[in-house]
Amino acid sequence: MAASTSALPQSRDPVLVPDVSSRAIDIKYSFTGEELLLFGAIVYPDGRAPDERADIVVVIKGPTEAIRLREKQRIAGIWVNAQSVRFATAPGYYAIAASRPINQMMDERTAAIYELGLENLSLSPANFENEQQLRTFERGLIDLQRRRTLYAENFGSVEISNGVLYRAALAIPAQVPVGRYTAETYLVSKGRVLAVAAREIDIRKTGFDRFVADAAENYGILYGLAAVALSLGLGLGAGYVFRQR
């Protein structure tokens, strides 16, 4: 199948030279979030920016995870689980910033190809055939992740200086999942993506938080027994203190 020429870079297209303010973010017990700066340069073949306007889109996303979303229904005065959908490839975090709204840069098809914007995320729903209800579940998932500050859109926030330098700041919330992330930069002009570049970011737990997480994941039974023993010990200790008063 032949690819659309509108989505393929041409030989005289510019090149992106991107970077991020931090390639690794450590989550400690005191972590309250962090602002990540994405910046870089647009290198044109002739060394000079053309007269026509070029736009920049930056996206941070990851890690992919399976999420099951359930619908609640009230039956006989009791809230019960009704239908559910499993999204196989939902990003745990997705944030996009751009120099202007996506629909002013490109058509819907191009935006969908590159998954630019929350409405264009590829969530891979499984075993659900009702298209209308599926759209409802997708909007519900996006709204839920928005309220948790794990999904975000910020159009008009990317600054472009002299047509060649760009910068954008995206917030990493405190509850962000750990894992490998990608910071992607897109150069767009006349409805076409001219260049794409990416950098990887690791978000990881450190110190005691990492020890607890590793123990829970790799030694589940021992971790559970230790948690029970600790709870019993604290309960007995508290009871002893109160009896002495």
- pLDDT at residue 3 in the model: 46
CA distance 154 to 144: 17
Q: Looking at the domain assignment, is residue 65 inside a domain? A: yes
Place 61 in a pLDDT band, splitting at 50, 70 and 90: very high
Average pLDDT, the chain: 82
DSSP, collapsed to helix, strand or coil, labels residue 52 as coil
Please tell me whether residues 64 and 89 are part of one structural domain: yes
Q: How many domains does the chain have?
A: 2
CA distance 189 to 32: 37
CA distance 237 to 239: 5
Please tell me whether residues 87 and 170 are part of one structural domain: yes
DSSP label of 21: S
Q: Looking at the domain assignment, is residue 1 inside a domain? A: no
Q: Looking at the domain assignment, is residue 26 inside a domain? A: yes
Q: Looking at the domain assignment, is residue 96 inside a domain? A: yes
Please tell me whether residues 236 and 177 are part of one structural domain: no
- Determine contact, residues 106/192, Cβ cutoff 8 Å: yes
Please tell me whether residues 210 and 200 are part of one structural domain: no
CA distance 105 to 122: 20
122-147 pLDDT, tens per residue? 888 876 667 888 888 899 999 999 99
Please tell me whether residues 151 and 235 are part of one structural domain: no
Residue 96 burial by Cβ neighbours in a 10 Å radius (0-12, 13-18, 19+): buried
CA distance 90 to 93: 9
Please tell me whether residues 230 and 153 are part of one structural domain: no
Q: Looking at the domain assignment, is residue 2 inside a domain? A: no
Please tell me whether residues 59 and 159 are part of one structural domain: yes
DSSP label of 49: -
Domain boundaries, position 71: 7-204
Lookup: tokens for 49? 């920016």
Check pLDDT > 70 for residue 218.
Answer: no
Please tell me whether residues 234 and 147 are part of one structural domain: no
Q: CATH number of the domain that 175 lies in?
A: 2.60.40.1930
Where b means 16+ CB within 10 Å and e means fewer, 34-56 reads bebebbbebebeeeeeeeeebbb
- pLDDT at residue 5 in the model: 46
- Phi/psi region, residue 162 (left: phi>0; alpha: psi -120 to 50; beta: rest), is left
Please tell me whether residues 210 and 223 are part of one structural domain: yes
6-54 pLDDT, tens per residue? 444 455 789 999 999 999 998 887 788 899 999 999 999 877 777 778 9
Please tell me whether residues 227 and 185 are part of one structural domain: no
